[in-house]
Amino acid sequence: MQVTRFLIEIRESIAAAFRALRANLLRSILTTLGIVVGVTAVIAIVSLLHGLDRTVKREVAGLGTNVLYVGKYPWIQMDDFWKFRNRKDITLEQGQRLLDLVTLPAAASLQVSASSTVKWRERTARSVSLDGHTSEGRLVHDLDPEFGRFYTSLEARDGSNVIILGNGLWRDLFEERDPLGQRVRVGRHVFTVIGVLPEQGTMMGMDQNASAVIPLQTLLKLFGTRRSMVITLRSPDAESLALVEDEARGLLRRIRGIPFGAEDDFAINRQEMLLDLFRSLTAALFAVMIGVASLSLLVGGIGIMNIMLVSVTERTREIGIRKSVGAKRRDIMWQFLVESVVVSGLGGAIGMGLGLAIALVVSSVTSLPAAAPIWAVLLGLGFSTSVGLFFGIYPAAKAAGLDPIEALRFE
Protein backbone atom coordinates (compact mmCIF):
# COMPACT_ATOMS: atom_id res chain seq x y z
CA MET A 1 0.00 0.00 0.00
CA GLN A 2 2.79 2.37 0.91
CA VAL A 3 4.65 1.49 -2.31
CA THR A 4 1.52 2.23 -4.38
CA ARG A 5 1.05 5.58 -2.62
CA PHE A 6 4.72 6.41 -3.18
CA LEU A 7 4.44 5.65 -6.91
CA ILE A 8 1.31 7.78 -7.17
CA GLU A 9 3.12 10.67 -5.48
CA ILE A 10 6.04 10.31 -7.90
CA ARG A 11 3.69 10.26 -10.89
CA GLU A 12 1.86 13.36 -9.67
CA SER A 13 5.15 15.13 -8.99
CA ILE A 14 6.40 14.36 -12.50
CA ALA A 15 3.13 15.62 -13.99
CA ALA A 16 3.41 18.82 -11.92
CA ALA A 17 7.02 19.22 -13.03
CA PHE A 18 6.05 19.03 -16.71
CA ARG A 19 3.23 21.54 -16.13
CA ALA A 20 5.74 23.93 -14.59
CA LEU A 21 8.14 23.39 -17.52
CA ARG A 22 5.41 24.12 -20.07
CA ALA A 23 4.32 27.22 -18.17
CA ASN A 24 7.86 28.65 -18.36
CA LEU A 25 9.19 27.01 -21.53
CA LEU A 26 11.88 29.53 -22.47
CA ARG A 27 13.16 29.73 -18.92
CA SER A 28 13.29 25.92 -18.73
CA ILE A 29 15.26 25.70 -22.00
CA LEU A 30 17.79 28.28 -20.82
CA THR A 31 18.06 26.49 -17.46
CA THR A 32 19.01 23.19 -19.11
CA LEU A 33 21.56 24.77 -21.49
CA GLY A 34 24.57 24.01 -19.28
CA ILE A 35 23.44 20.40 -18.84
CA VAL A 36 22.89 20.06 -22.61
CA VAL A 37 26.39 21.39 -23.42
CA GLY A 38 28.09 19.13 -20.85
CA VAL A 39 26.31 15.94 -21.88
CA THR A 40 26.70 16.75 -25.59
CA ALA A 41 30.47 17.11 -25.14
CA VAL A 42 30.70 13.83 -23.20
CA ILE A 43 28.62 11.77 -25.65
CA ALA A 44 30.19 13.21 -28.82
CA ILE A 45 33.80 12.80 -27.70
CA VAL A 46 33.28 9.40 -26.05
CA SER A 47 31.55 8.15 -29.22
CA LEU A 48 34.41 9.29 -31.44
CA LEU A 49 37.10 8.03 -29.05
CA HIS A 50 35.37 4.66 -28.68
CA GLY A 51 35.06 4.26 -32.44
CA LEU A 52 38.67 5.34 -32.96
CA ASP A 53 39.83 2.94 -30.24
CA ARG A 54 38.11 0.00 -31.92
CA THR A 55 39.60 0.95 -35.30
CA VAL A 56 43.14 1.38 -33.93
CA LYS A 57 42.99 -1.92 -32.07
CA ARG A 58 41.72 -3.70 -35.19
CA GLU A 59 44.45 -2.19 -37.38
CA VAL A 60 47.27 -2.69 -34.88
CA ALA A 61 46.15 -6.31 -34.41
CA GLY A 62 47.28 -6.82 -38.01
CA LEU A 63 50.86 -6.39 -36.78
CA GLY A 64 50.45 -9.55 -34.69
CA THR A 65 50.16 -9.75 -30.92
CA ASN A 66 53.14 -12.11 -30.81
CA VAL A 67 55.39 -10.57 -33.49
CA LEU A 68 58.53 -8.50 -32.87
CA TYR A 69 59.91 -6.03 -35.42
CA VAL A 70 63.66 -5.47 -35.01
CA GLY A 71 64.89 -2.47 -36.99
CA LYS A 72 67.04 0.62 -37.08
CA TYR A 73 64.28 3.00 -35.97
CA PRO A 74 61.82 2.79 -33.07
CA TRP A 75 58.20 3.24 -34.06
CA ILE A 76 57.80 5.97 -31.43
CA GLN A 77 60.61 8.53 -31.47
CA MET A 78 60.65 10.75 -28.41
CA ASP A 79 64.35 11.63 -28.72
CA ASP A 80 66.39 13.40 -31.39
CA PHE A 81 65.64 11.93 -34.85
CA TRP A 82 69.29 12.27 -35.86
CA LYS A 83 70.29 9.93 -33.05
CA PHE A 84 68.44 7.14 -34.86
CA ARG A 85 69.30 8.42 -38.35
CA ASN A 86 73.02 8.09 -37.61
CA ARG A 87 72.77 4.46 -36.50
CA LYS A 88 74.41 1.91 -38.76
CA ASP A 89 72.03 -0.05 -40.95
CA ILE A 90 71.14 -3.62 -40.04
CA THR A 91 72.76 -5.40 -42.97
CA LEU A 92 71.48 -8.45 -44.80
CA GLU A 93 74.38 -10.50 -43.39
CA GLN A 94 73.60 -9.42 -39.80
CA GLY A 95 69.93 -10.19 -40.24
CA GLN A 96 70.59 -13.59 -41.77
CA ARG A 97 73.04 -14.45 -39.01
CA LEU A 98 70.47 -13.60 -36.37
CA LEU A 99 67.92 -15.84 -38.10
CA ASP A 100 70.47 -18.67 -38.10
CA LEU A 101 71.13 -18.30 -34.35
CA VAL A 102 67.71 -17.70 -32.78
CA THR A 103 66.00 -20.77 -31.34
CA LEU A 104 62.87 -19.52 -29.57
CA PRO A 105 60.77 -17.97 -32.39
CA ALA A 106 58.22 -20.14 -34.17
CA ALA A 107 59.09 -18.32 -37.42
CA ALA A 108 61.47 -15.53 -38.43
CA SER A 109 62.08 -13.52 -41.58
CA LEU A 110 63.75 -10.46 -43.07
CA GLN A 111 61.95 -7.68 -44.88
CA VAL A 112 62.52 -4.32 -46.58
CA SER A 113 60.23 -2.04 -48.53
CA ALA A 114 60.37 0.08 -51.66
CA SER A 115 57.90 1.97 -53.81
CA SER A 116 57.27 1.76 -57.53
CA THR A 117 54.64 1.88 -60.27
CA VAL A 118 52.97 -1.37 -61.32
CA LYS A 119 51.54 -1.56 -64.84
CA TRP A 120 49.47 -4.13 -66.74
CA ARG A 121 48.57 -3.30 -70.33
CA GLU A 122 47.09 0.22 -70.22
CA ARG A 123 46.35 0.30 -66.51
CA THR A 124 48.89 1.76 -64.08
CA ALA A 125 49.01 1.89 -60.28
CA ARG A 126 51.42 4.48 -58.92
CA SER A 127 53.40 4.60 -55.67
CA VAL A 128 52.70 0.94 -54.88
CA SER A 129 54.35 -0.28 -51.68
CA LEU A 130 56.57 -3.28 -52.50
CA ASP A 131 57.32 -5.47 -49.49
CA GLY A 132 60.31 -7.73 -49.91
CA HIS A 133 60.24 -10.81 -47.65
CA THR A 134 62.23 -13.98 -47.31
CA SER A 135 60.13 -17.09 -47.93
CA GLU A 136 59.44 -17.40 -44.18
CA GLY A 137 57.56 -14.09 -44.31
CA ARG A 138 54.45 -16.06 -45.28
CA LEU A 139 54.47 -17.71 -41.83
CA VAL A 140 55.41 -14.61 -39.83
CA HIS A 141 52.86 -12.26 -41.44
CA ASP A 142 50.12 -14.72 -42.47
CA LEU A 143 50.62 -13.96 -46.16
CA ASP A 144 48.83 -16.99 -47.57
CA PRO A 145 47.35 -15.93 -50.93
CA GLU A 146 43.58 -16.00 -51.45
CA PHE A 147 44.32 -17.73 -54.72
CA GLY A 148 47.57 -18.66 -56.41
CA ARG A 149 50.64 -19.42 -54.30
CA PHE A 150 53.47 -17.86 -52.32
CA TYR A 151 56.97 -17.97 -53.77
CA THR A 152 59.17 -20.93 -52.90
CA SER A 153 62.42 -20.80 -50.94
CA LEU A 154 64.29 -21.42 -54.22
CA GLU A 155 62.57 -18.44 -55.89
CA ALA A 156 63.33 -16.33 -52.85
CA ARG A 157 66.99 -17.35 -52.79
CA ASP A 158 67.50 -16.81 -56.53
CA GLY A 159 65.71 -13.48 -56.58
CA SER A 160 63.07 -14.49 -59.12
CA ASN A 161 60.84 -11.84 -60.65
CA VAL A 162 57.60 -13.12 -59.17
CA ILE A 163 54.98 -10.97 -57.49
CA ILE A 164 51.94 -11.44 -55.23
CA LEU A 165 49.41 -8.67 -55.63
CA GLY A 166 47.41 -7.07 -52.85
CA ASN A 167 43.67 -7.53 -53.24
CA GLY A 168 43.00 -3.89 -54.09
CA LEU A 169 45.92 -3.72 -56.51
CA TRP A 170 44.58 -6.81 -58.31
CA ARG A 171 41.14 -5.23 -58.64
CA ASP A 172 42.59 -1.95 -59.92
CA LEU A 173 44.81 -3.57 -62.56
CA PHE A 174 42.86 -6.65 -63.60
CA GLU A 175 39.29 -5.73 -62.64
CA GLU A 176 38.90 -9.15 -61.00
CA ARG A 177 40.11 -11.07 -64.06
CA ASP A 178 42.42 -14.03 -63.51
CA PRO A 179 45.93 -12.56 -63.07
CA LEU A 180 47.87 -15.79 -62.51
CA GLY A 181 50.71 -16.16 -64.99
CA GLN A 182 50.20 -12.64 -66.35
CA ARG A 183 53.19 -10.33 -66.78
CA VAL A 184 53.18 -6.96 -65.07
CA ARG A 185 55.79 -4.24 -65.26
CA VAL A 186 57.18 -3.06 -61.91
CA GLY A 187 59.13 0.06 -62.70
CA ARG A 188 61.29 -1.02 -65.62
CA HIS A 189 61.21 -4.73 -64.71
CA VAL A 190 58.85 -7.51 -65.78
CA PHE A 191 57.31 -9.75 -63.09
CA THR A 192 55.07 -12.80 -63.24
CA VAL A 193 51.96 -12.74 -61.05
CA ILE A 194 51.77 -15.92 -58.95
CA GLY A 195 49.14 -15.01 -56.34
CA VAL A 196 46.69 -12.50 -54.86
CA LEU A 197 46.46 -11.74 -51.14
CA PRO A 198 43.12 -11.68 -49.28
CA GLU A 199 41.52 -8.44 -48.08
CA GLN A 200 43.74 -6.87 -45.40
CA GLY A 201 42.12 -3.53 -44.56
CA THR A 202 44.16 -0.48 -43.55
CA MET A 203 47.13 0.05 -41.25
CA MET A 204 47.51 3.50 -39.68
CA GLY A 205 45.59 5.03 -42.57
CA MET A 206 47.54 3.13 -45.25
CA ASP A 207 45.62 0.76 -47.51
CA GLN A 208 47.31 -2.64 -47.21
CA ASN A 209 45.38 -3.91 -50.22
CA ALA A 210 47.25 -1.52 -52.51
CA SER A 211 50.62 -3.20 -51.84
CA ALA A 212 52.47 -6.15 -53.36
CA VAL A 213 54.90 -8.78 -52.07
CA ILE A 214 58.10 -9.83 -53.87
CA PRO A 215 61.15 -11.87 -52.77
CA LEU A 216 63.62 -9.95 -50.62
CA GLN A 217 66.58 -10.76 -52.87
CA THR A 218 64.63 -9.53 -55.89
CA LEU A 219 63.92 -6.19 -54.24
CA LEU A 220 67.56 -5.74 -53.23
CA LYS A 221 68.78 -6.73 -56.70
CA LEU A 222 66.46 -4.38 -58.61
CA PHE A 223 65.99 -1.48 -56.21
CA GLY A 224 69.33 -1.28 -54.41
CA THR A 225 71.07 -3.03 -51.51
CA ARG A 226 71.74 0.06 -49.38
CA ARG A 227 68.77 -0.63 -47.14
CA SER A 228 68.44 -1.45 -43.46
CA MET A 229 66.79 -4.81 -42.77
CA VAL A 230 63.77 -5.28 -40.56
CA ILE A 231 63.90 -8.63 -38.75
CA THR A 232 60.50 -10.03 -37.83
CA LEU A 233 60.18 -12.74 -35.19
CA ARG A 234 56.96 -14.58 -34.36
CA SER A 235 56.92 -16.20 -30.93
CA PRO A 236 54.94 -19.42 -30.35
CA ASP A 237 52.47 -17.41 -28.22
CA ALA A 238 52.07 -13.99 -26.61
CA GLU A 239 53.32 -15.28 -23.23
CA SER A 240 56.77 -16.20 -24.61
CA LEU A 241 57.23 -12.90 -26.49
CA ALA A 242 59.45 -11.46 -23.77
CA LEU A 243 61.78 -14.49 -23.94
CA VAL A 244 62.05 -14.17 -27.72
CA GLU A 245 62.82 -10.45 -27.31
CA ASP A 246 65.57 -11.11 -24.75
CA GLU A 247 67.19 -13.76 -26.97
CA ALA A 248 67.06 -11.55 -30.06
CA ARG A 249 68.46 -8.54 -28.20
CA GLY A 250 71.39 -10.50 -26.77
CA LEU A 251 72.27 -12.12 -30.10
CA LEU A 252 72.01 -8.92 -32.14
CA ARG A 253 74.15 -6.99 -29.65
CA ARG A 254 76.82 -9.65 -30.08
CA ILE A 255 76.49 -9.69 -33.87
CA ARG A 256 76.78 -5.89 -34.08
CA GLY A 257 79.64 -5.77 -31.56
CA ILE A 258 77.96 -3.55 -28.96
CA PRO A 259 80.11 -3.30 -25.80
CA PHE A 260 78.72 -4.37 -22.43
CA GLY A 261 76.84 -1.49 -20.79
CA ALA A 262 76.36 0.47 -24.02
CA GLU A 263 72.81 1.12 -25.21
CA ASP A 264 71.30 -0.75 -28.15
CA ASP A 265 71.88 0.73 -31.60
CA PHE A 266 68.69 -0.89 -32.87
CA ALA A 267 65.04 -0.95 -31.82
CA ILE A 268 62.72 -3.83 -30.97
CA ASN A 269 59.14 -2.84 -31.70
CA ARG A 270 55.87 -4.54 -30.85
CA GLN A 271 52.22 -3.64 -31.28
CA GLU A 272 51.70 -2.77 -27.61
CA MET A 273 53.93 0.28 -28.07
CA LEU A 274 51.42 1.80 -30.50
CA LEU A 275 48.48 0.88 -28.27
CA ASP A 276 50.18 2.42 -25.22
CA LEU A 277 50.86 5.63 -27.15
CA PHE A 278 47.25 5.77 -28.32
CA ARG A 279 45.96 5.20 -24.77
CA SER A 280 48.16 7.98 -23.38
CA LEU A 281 46.95 10.43 -26.04
CA THR A 282 43.29 9.57 -25.58
CA ALA A 283 43.63 9.64 -21.79
CA ALA A 284 44.76 13.28 -21.98
CA LEU A 285 41.88 14.11 -24.33
CA PHE A 286 39.45 12.28 -22.06
CA ALA A 287 40.69 14.27 -19.05
CA VAL A 288 40.14 17.56 -20.91
CA MET A 289 36.66 16.36 -21.92
CA ILE A 290 35.80 15.52 -18.31
CA GLY A 291 36.97 18.97 -17.23
CA VAL A 292 34.85 20.76 -19.86
CA ALA A 293 31.83 18.57 -19.14
CA SER A 294 32.18 19.01 -15.36
CA LEU A 295 32.34 22.79 -15.70
CA SER A 296 29.26 22.79 -17.96
CA LEU A 297 27.36 20.54 -15.56
CA LEU A 298 28.35 22.74 -12.62
CA VAL A 299 27.09 25.83 -14.43
CA GLY A 300 23.93 23.95 -15.39
CA GLY A 301 23.43 22.77 -11.80
CA ILE A 302 23.79 26.32 -10.44
CA GLY A 303 21.29 27.47 -13.05
CA ILE A 304 18.82 24.80 -11.98
CA MET A 305 19.21 25.74 -8.31
CA ASN A 306 18.68 29.42 -9.12
CA ILE A 307 15.56 28.77 -11.18
CA MET A 308 14.16 26.38 -8.57
CA LEU A 309 14.61 29.04 -5.87
CA VAL A 310 12.76 31.50 -8.11
CA SER A 311 10.06 28.85 -8.59
CA VAL A 312 9.74 28.38 -4.82
CA THR A 313 9.30 32.13 -4.38
CA GLU A 314 6.71 32.33 -7.18
CA ARG A 315 4.74 29.38 -5.80
CA THR A 316 4.94 30.23 -2.09
CA ARG A 317 1.17 30.82 -1.85
CA GLU A 318 0.54 27.49 -3.67
CA ILE A 319 2.77 25.73 -1.14
CA GLY A 320 0.84 27.36 1.71
CA ILE A 321 -2.49 26.18 0.27
CA ARG A 322 -1.19 22.62 -0.20
CA LYS A 323 0.11 22.49 3.38
CA SER A 324 -3.12 23.87 4.76
CA VAL A 325 -5.14 21.07 3.14
CA GLY A 326 -2.87 18.35 4.52
CA ALA A 327 0.23 18.09 2.33
CA LYS A 328 3.20 16.91 4.38
CA ARG A 329 6.70 18.32 4.34
CA ARG A 330 7.79 15.20 2.45
CA ASP A 331 5.20 15.80 -0.30
CA ILE A 332 6.41 19.33 -0.96
CA MET A 333 10.03 18.21 -0.94
CA TRP A 334 9.33 15.42 -3.43
CA GLN A 335 7.49 17.75 -5.76
CA PHE A 336 10.39 20.19 -6.10
CA LEU A 337 13.07 17.47 -6.16
CA VAL A 338 11.31 15.63 -8.97
CA GLU A 339 10.88 18.89 -10.87
CA SER A 340 14.61 19.60 -10.58
CA VAL A 341 15.52 16.05 -11.72
CA VAL A 342 13.07 16.26 -14.65
CA VAL A 343 14.61 19.56 -15.81
CA SER A 344 18.17 18.18 -15.65
CA GLY A 345 17.17 14.78 -17.07
CA LEU A 346 15.49 16.47 -20.01
CA GLY A 347 18.67 18.46 -20.61
CA GLY A 348 20.66 15.21 -20.45
CA ALA A 349 18.37 13.54 -22.99
CA ILE A 350 18.69 16.49 -25.38
CA GLY A 351 22.46 16.46 -24.87
CA MET A 352 22.68 12.74 -25.66
CA GLY A 353 20.73 13.25 -28.88
CA LEU A 354 22.92 16.17 -29.94
CA GLY A 355 26.12 14.34 -28.98
CA LEU A 356 25.21 11.28 -31.03
CA ALA A 357 24.18 13.49 -33.96
CA ILE A 358 27.48 15.41 -33.86
CA ALA A 359 29.47 12.14 -33.70
CA LEU A 360 27.57 10.72 -36.68
CA VAL A 361 28.04 13.92 -38.71
CA VAL A 362 31.78 14.01 -37.98
CA SER A 363 32.03 10.31 -38.85
CA SER A 364 30.21 10.81 -42.16
CA VAL A 365 32.34 13.75 -43.37
CA THR A 366 35.72 12.53 -42.07
CA SER A 367 37.56 9.24 -41.67
CA LEU A 368 36.93 9.23 -37.92
CA PRO A 369 34.60 6.37 -36.93
CA ALA A 370 31.88 6.79 -34.33
CA ALA A 371 30.50 4.16 -31.97
CA ALA A 372 28.53 5.12 -28.85
CA PRO A 373 28.93 2.55 -26.05
CA ILE A 374 25.85 1.98 -23.91
CA TRP A 375 27.80 2.88 -20.78
CA ALA A 376 28.44 6.40 -22.16
CA VAL A 377 24.71 6.96 -22.74
CA LEU A 378 23.88 5.72 -19.25
CA LEU A 379 26.72 7.80 -17.80
CA GLY A 380 25.46 10.97 -19.48
CA LEU A 381 21.91 10.40 -18.29
CA GLY A 382 23.09 9.44 -14.81
CA PHE A 383 25.28 12.52 -14.44
CA SER A 384 22.56 14.88 -15.63
CA THR A 385 19.92 13.49 -13.26
CA SER A 386 22.44 13.45 -10.40
CA VAL A 387 23.16 17.13 -10.98
CA GLY A 388 19.44 17.87 -10.83
CA LEU A 389 19.08 15.84 -7.66
CA PHE A 390 22.05 17.47 -5.91
CA PHE A 391 21.28 21.06 -6.86
CA GLY A 392 17.55 20.59 -6.23
CA ILE A 393 17.94 19.55 -2.60
CA TYR A 394 18.32 23.06 -1.18
CA PRO A 395 15.35 24.64 -3.05
CA ALA A 396 13.19 21.61 -2.21
CA ALA A 397 14.15 21.79 1.47
CA LYS A 398 13.41 25.53 1.49
CA ALA A 399 9.98 24.92 -0.04
CA ALA A 400 9.21 22.11 2.39
CA GLY A 401 10.26 24.22 5.38
CA LEU A 402 7.89 27.14 4.65
CA ASP A 403 5.39 27.96 7.37
CA PRO A 404 1.89 27.47 5.87
CA ILE A 405 0.42 30.57 7.55
CA GLU A 406 3.27 32.81 6.39
CA ALA A 407 3.09 31.22 2.93
CA LEU A 408 -0.63 31.99 2.65
CA ARG A 409 0.02 35.64 3.54
CA PHE A 410 2.67 35.89 0.77
CA GLU A 411 1.74 38.26 -2.09
Average pLDDT rounded to a whole number, residues 270-292: 77
Residue 220 has pLDDT above 90, yes or no: yes
Residue 186 has pLDDT above 70, yes or no: yes
Domain match, 289 and 244 both: no
pLDDT digits (tens, 9 = 90+) for 353-385: 888 888 888 777 776 677 777 777 787 778 788
Residue 407 has pLDDT above 70, yes or no: no
Domain match, 221 and 303 both: no
Give the CA diameter of the chain: 104
Amino acid identity for residue 389 in this structure: L
Alpha-carbon distance of 55 to 57, in angstroms, equals 5
- pLDDT category, 160, cuts 50, 70, 90? very high
Residue 204 has pLDDT above 60, yes or no: no
Residue 185 has pLDDT above 90, yes or no: yes
Average pLDDT rounded to a whole number, residues 262-279: 82
Alpha-carbon distance of 83 to 406, in angstroms, equals 81
Q: What dihedral do alpha carbons 221, 224, 230, 233 form, nearest 10°?
A: 0
pLDDT digits (tens, 9 = 90+) for 72-116: 888 877 667 777 788 888 999 999 999 999 998 888 999 999 999
Distances (CA, A) of 69 to 55, 81, 98, 288, 329: 21, 19, 13, 34, 71
Using an 8 Å Cβ cutoff, are 37 and 384 in contact? no
Using an 8 Å Cβ cutoff, are 396 and 329 in contact? no
Domain stops at, among 269, 302, 335: 269
Bridge partners (DSSP) listed for residue 374: none
Domain residues for the domain of 244 are 67-269
Note the pTM of the prediction, 2 decimals: 0.68
For 6-45, give the DSSP string.
HHHHHHHHHHHHHHHHHHTHHHHHHHTHHHHHHHHHHHHH
Domain match, 157 and 92 both: yes
Domain match, 99 and 117 both: yes
The lowest-confidence range among 111-115, 120-124, 139-143, 392-396 is 392-396
Domain match, 88 and 205 both: yes
Domain stops at, among 237, 269, 301: 269
pLDDT digits (tens, 9 = 90+) for 329-349: 777 787 778 778 888 888 888
Amino acid identity for residue 263 in this structure: E
Domain match, 214 and 300 both: no
Q: How many domains does the chain have?
A: 2
Residue 5 has pLDDT above 70, yes or no: no
Q: What are phi and psi of 72, to 5 degrees?
A: -75, -35
